[in-house]
Structures are given as C-alpha cells and as structure tokens.
Amino acid sequence: MKKILIPTKLDKVAANILAESSLYEVIQDDSSSIGDLAKAHPDTFGLIVRSEKVTEDIINALPELKIIVRAGAGFNTIDTKYARKKSIDVMNTPGANSNAVAEEVLALMLSDARHIIKADASTRAGKWEKKNFMGREISGKTIGIVGLGYIGRLLAKRLAGFDANLIGYDPVISSERAANVNVELTDIETIFSTSDYISLHIPENEDTKGMVNWNLMSKMKDGATIINCARAGIIVEDDLRKAKNEKNIRLLNDVYDKDAEGEKSIADIADIMLPHLGASTKEANFNAAKRAAEQIIDLETKGITSFIVNRDIPEGLAEEYCELANTLSKLARELAGKNTTVKLIETSVYGSLEPYADWLIVPIVAGIWSDFDMSMDFHAAQEYLRDMGIEYGTRDVDSGKTYDASITVDITYEIDDERLKQISIRGTVTEGVIMISRINTFDKLYFEPKGNSTYFLYEDRPGVIGAIGAKLAEKNINIHDIRNAYDKKTNRSLAIMKVSDHVSDELIADIKQDINATAAFSIKI
C-alpha cells in the first residue's frame, strides 16, 4: 500500500476516502511539524497540505514522493518547479472554498452596515449607544463585483435576495454567463464610480498588482466600501489612505502580504480586519479534503490530470513553440483590447506541430488571461474556457499550405451587443527565434516580438512614422527595428516598432491621439 501523509488539520473525510479505496495507508497528524513528519515517514507517496510550506528540503526528505495536493486553490507555498524536477505532480482543488469566501463577503458587508462588532462590544460593556449605531441597508444599493470567477458568481447568487443592483467587471467571462447570475457587465471605471460596495475577486499578478489605485478610488462615491477577500497586493495602500481621508472610503479586509502574527500595515485604514478566514469553514474544509482525496485516486486509477499545476511540456514539442503560442495570444489580446469580452478562440496548427494542437491550448489560454497558469494541462484549459462561457476550436488545416510548424490564433470578441470583431495572428520559429508573420491582413511581417515593442494601426498617409519617432525621441526612446505594412484594400497601415525602453500608457495614448490611430499599445515580451 502507498503511504499518504496529511500533516495538517484537515477534515477526516480525505483519510477515510483514501483508506476505503484499499490502495493507501494514511498518516494524519496536525500536532507535529511537516519537517518532523517527513523525517519519520520517508516512504511517503502522496502529501496533502493546506498552508504548510513544501520546500526543497521537505521534498528531498521524501524520496518516494510522487503527488502533492494543496487542499485549496493557491499553491504558492509549494515549490512546484523543484517538484517537477523530481517528477512530482502538484495538484490543487480550485473552487472548493468558493462558497465560504462568498458568504464571508456577505458577513463583512452586513457586519459593517449594521455596526455589529462595535455595537456588540458597547452593549457587553453595559452601554446603550443606540443612537451611535445608525446603520444602512444593502437592499437597493449598487454592488460592483470585480472578477466573476467561481467566487464572484457565487457572491452574485447569494446577493440575489437583497434586491441590489449587481454590476461586474471581468474581461474573461461572456456577457451571457454574467447575465445568468443577474450581473450586468461593465468597465472597471463604471464599477468604481457608481458602486456603493465593491468586492474584489481577482488574482494578484503582473496585470492586477496595484490595480486598485488613486485613479480608480478617486472616482468612488463618498462613503463607499471596498471589500478585499482576494489578495493584498491589488490595492495600493497609500492611495487608499488618501481616498479614506478625502472620500471616507471604507475597507473590509481579510488578506495580507503574509499570513502570520504581527502588526499589519493596513491597520490604520481597515474598518474591519479578519485573519484570512475566507476558507475557514467546516464545509470548505470538508470539500477541499474530499476533492484532494478523490483527485489522488482519479490520477492513479483513471489518469485524470486536470488539476495538475506543474505539468511538463509534452515530449517532442520544443519549448519555443509553446512560447510562440503564448506570444501570439498575448498580442491578439492586446490588439483586441484587454477589457473586451472574448467570445471565441480558434487556432490553426500546421505541419509538425499538428499532433500537439490540443496541448497548445494551454499556452494560448495563459497568454490571453494571465491568471491561468501555463503549467496546467489541456483538460484544465478546457474547463477554464467552459466555465467562462468561451468557445474554443481547432481548425482542420490545408496541407497544401507551406506553413510548416506555424500557428494561427484567432480571437473573436464583442464590440457591443450586436457586433463582433476578429483578430488573427500567425507566427513561426526560425532558427530558434519567434517570428510574427501575419497580423490580420498585414502579411510577411517577419517581426521578432521579444523585448519592448509598440503597435500602431492607422489610416495610411505621409508623415505618421516621423510623428511617432518624434514623440518617442522626446522621451529619449530609440527605435531599434520597424515594420510598416500597408493594406491596399483598407488603406490602413500597421507600424510595429522594437524600442529601447518601456513606452508608458500615457505616451501611447498621446501618440494614438496625435496620429489618430484606431489601435495602439506597447508590450514587453
């Protein structure tokens, strides 16, 4: 029998399911450290953890280890890269804690709106300060939900009985899927300018870190409330201090840079602070434990790999083609606009890459949405798209075309309720270098997208390239390479420039207005 070690306080259902399968011997101990348990059980085959750190040293102490399961969604406490080097699969259980977090948001909203915490302390002290605790109702208020994944949609369902106006922002989810939970999709500026409550449910990554800043908070209603049960880094604390002073913004918080004892940097601006209790319910603990055990058995007996978060690239597929697929989708997303709603993704995979068409969905989805981990597998990518109501298709390719080892990524997205638009990009790898060969009707570009680059689409006319160059020069930014393709049918040109330094959003907007471009962005790959 294979040994499963559970060095954490986890519902016994995991141990029971594993033991009942007759495949595993289970050791569950939440009183000893994970390090001591690893030394005592070097023959461990599988490890189920919650927030325990699984470091290189822990992995080395378990030479027989083949599976690590994080009973929860986040797996940043596990050294996934070193685990892969040791041929260890790491899995998580996304969604198991979602309802617990959604209900916590409601608890925070109601506690704050009716002064539950302060009123309780006051009454216990023998006081009768009823006039000091005038509250407000949630019914009839506008509630903005930033991020409509598992938790955001469950929150919308839980709010249904409050007769509130629900609006949401999520560049991934389709408008139909949002409408299913009575949420009207809108832009992030509208969320912050019109909501009485704003609940954050987004990951912390390069796109979202510091996203909630003064630019957004300055638009908020006086006395509006932010609820953060997501990640600490998405809010700029100093900007929130300013918003609190100038607009009396309230903060209900459950997340921090570190889950540990000690002073918290937001203590002066948080109206309610909890010690990261989002997933701390018996039900969530049960769900995560049950799924962790079932996933181990499914992986072992059925080969189901959907929740593995550190999978290798398939044998025979060169890593640069994964980078190519990822780069194509990043560029397509930028051209479509990060805030547009994607409806359909279609790919064409040519030549020697054809056998890997299914796997290439992973880097493509990760390129379009940074919260999807590129170490996930094909089934996880399919589930991600299905959950967001987005169609994905791989076209049959014309073998007569000589696009050997090339990939085309097409994104169809909404302009408004009645109109759709498509972005199509093709690329290949030449002598180990990623090359973009076509963007929409602009063919034979042969541009290497590595480093800092800018893209401008505009009505063709003399002087535009000079105007762009002059604006860049004003900021001491040099042009290292340029492609300037022309489409005779539409009389439009596409200027792609590799530049010496990052081009700010402000400068891009300035150039876009100056040359009257229909699309403009900068990107670093």
Do 393 and 497 share a domain, yes or no? yes
Check residue 94 and give its pLDDT.
Answer: 84
Asked if residue 460 and residue 341 are part of one domain, the reply reads: yes
Whether this model's pTM surpasses 0.85: no
pLDDT in tens, 177-209: 888 899 999 999 999 999 999 999 988 887 889
| 308 within a domain of the structure (yes/no) | no
Residue 138 φ/ψ, nearest 5 degrees? -85, -30
Handedness of CA 91, 92, 95, 97 (dihedral sign): positive
Q: Classify residue 475: in a domain, yes or no.
A: yes
Whether residue 289 is found in the same domain as residue 341 = no
Q: Would residue 49 count as lying in a domain?
A: yes
CB 92 within 8 A of CB 300: no
Encoded amino acid at 393, one letter? G
Could you say which residues of the chain have pLDDT below 70?
Answer: 312, 375, 399-402, 416-419
pLDDT tens digits, 296-337: 999 898 888 778 888 767 777 888 888 899 999 999 888 888
* Cβ–Cβ < 8 Å for 511, 497: no
Residues 266 and 287 in one domain: no
According to DSSP, the residues that pair with 144 across neighbouring strands are 167, 198
CA angle (227, 230, 232) in 5-degree steps? 90
Residue 70, SS3?
Answer: strand
Task: Say how many domains are in the chain.
Answer: 3
Provide the CATH number for the domain around residue 90. Answer: 3.40.50.720
Q: Are residues 169 and 129 in the same domain?
A: yes
Beta-bridged to residue 520, according to DSSP, are 456
| Model confidence pLDDT, tens digit, residues 127-149 | 999 999 999 999 999 999 999 98
Distance between the two ends of the chain, CA-based, in angstroms?
Answer: 47
Report yes or no: 168 and 159 within 8 Å, Cβ to Cβ.
no
Query: Residue 259's domain spans which residues?
Result: 98-273
Is the domain of 159 the same as that of 89? no
